[in-house]
Chain A
Amino acid sequence: MKALGENSLSDWLGVFVTIFWLGAWFVVAAFVVIPFLGLENTSFTFETPIAHGLRVEMQGPGGTWKLRTVVADVSTPHSRAWIGSLLALPFIVLIALVLGGLRKILLSLREGSPFVSENARRLRRIGLLMLLIETLRVIVTATLVCPLIEELEPVTPGRQVIEATAWPNWEFVFTGCAVLILAEVFRRGTAMRDEQALTV
């Protein structure tokens, strides 16, 4: 299977990224719209990037939508659950922005040459967003999620509630840095290509 062009690997990756990109914006829209729709007896659950194992659930028993932090085998205080749910929103927006940039790069591969200055800028933006996501995750986990988890009580005595680490995920950080370096390489490559195009 070829990497570029029609029916190539990049083409299919573009389709998958578009699906995840639409999914991320759907979740953001759900956060904003669903509480106002008054939908009843519907449940909608998804994983959040705040901490491993922490889930945010939106459900509407009794006619009112509530954003509730749900962890396995845990009773959650509602006041804290609101904070936990709303914390996920900026992360999902940032992930949607990363996917949006990746999607535009993949679409440009279908349209023609990838060596355009816009792609270099998109790649740089993706790298910066990745570092921003991880920095925010560490700060939010250390200041808000860890204290929240400490207050949670397991329903079954002795059972481990949840694990959240405020230590940086170095794989993610290194990947972000590598993307930034690649973006600079890409930018210089496009500059050389532009110069080549204007050499007579």
Chain B
Amino acid sequence: MAIRVHLDEVLLRRRMTLTELSQKVDLTLANLSILKTGKARAIRFTTLDALCRVLECQPGDLISHEESPPAGS
């Protein structure tokens, strides 16, 4: 997918583990793991809001768009 998630990089900068983050944003470790590994198909605004609040960052710090060849080419 053309959307890349940089949660692991942000966590590294904040010196925070995924378990600590899951406790602070009230999300399951499994769901955060799906997000971190790039398997997520969608992210709720409420989740994004919670992540930005806890990690003190902007949505653009967590996700970015990358050019990729169109599907089927």
A residues whose Cβ falls under 8 Å from a Cβ of B: 194-195, 198-200
B residues whose Cβ falls under 8 Å from a Cβ of A: 27, 31-32, 34-35, 39-44, 47
Q: Once bound together, how far apart are the Cα atoms of A60 and B20, in whole Å? A: 78
Q: Once bound together, how far apart are the Cα atoms of A199 and B44, in whole Å? A: 7
Q: Once bound together, how far apart are the Cα atoms of A28 and B43, in whole Å? A: 53
Residues of chain B lying within 8 A (CB to CB) of residue A195:
41-42
Residues of chain A lying within 8 A (CB to CB) of residue B43:
199-200
Residues of chain A lying within 8 A (CB to CB) of residue B34:
198, 200
Residues of chain B lying within 8 A (CB to CB) of residue A200:
27, 31-32, 34-35, 40, 42-44, 47
Apart from the given pairs A195-B42, A199-B44, A200-B34, 17 other A-B contacts in the complex at a CB distance below 8 Å? A194-B41, A195-B41, A198-B34, A198-B39, A198-B40, A198-B42, A199-B40, A199-B41, A199-B43, A200-B27, A200-B31, A200-B32, A200-B35, A200-B42, A200-B43, A200-B44, A200-B47
Residues of chain B lying within 8 A (CB to CB) of residue A194:
41
* Nearest-neighbor residue (CB-CB) of B27 within chain A: A200
* Nearest-neighbor residue (CB-CB) of B42 within chain A: A199
Residues of chain A lying within 8 A (CB to CB) of residue B41:
194-195, 198-199
Q: List 13 A-B contacts (CB under 8 A).
A: A195-B42, A198-B34, A198-B39, A199-B40, A199-B41, A199-B43, A199-B44, A200-B31, A200-B32, A200-B35, A200-B40, A200-B42, A200-B47
Q: Once bound together, how far apart are the Cα atoms of A194 and B39, in whole Å? A: 12
* Nearest-neighbor residue (CB-CB) of A197 within chain B: B41
* Nearest-neighbor residue (CB-CB) of B32 within chain A: A200
Q: Once bound together, how far apart are the Cα atoms of A200 and B35, in whole Å? A: 7
Looking at the assembled complex, report how far the CB atom of B58 sits from the nearest CB atom of chain A, in whole angstroms: 18
Residues of chain A lying within 8 A (CB to CB) of residue B35:
200
Residues of chain B lying within 8 A (CB to CB) of residue A199:
40-44
* Nearest-neighbor residue (CB-CB) of B33 within chain A: A200
Q: Once bound together, how far apart are the Cα atoms of A10 and B28, in whole Å? A: 34
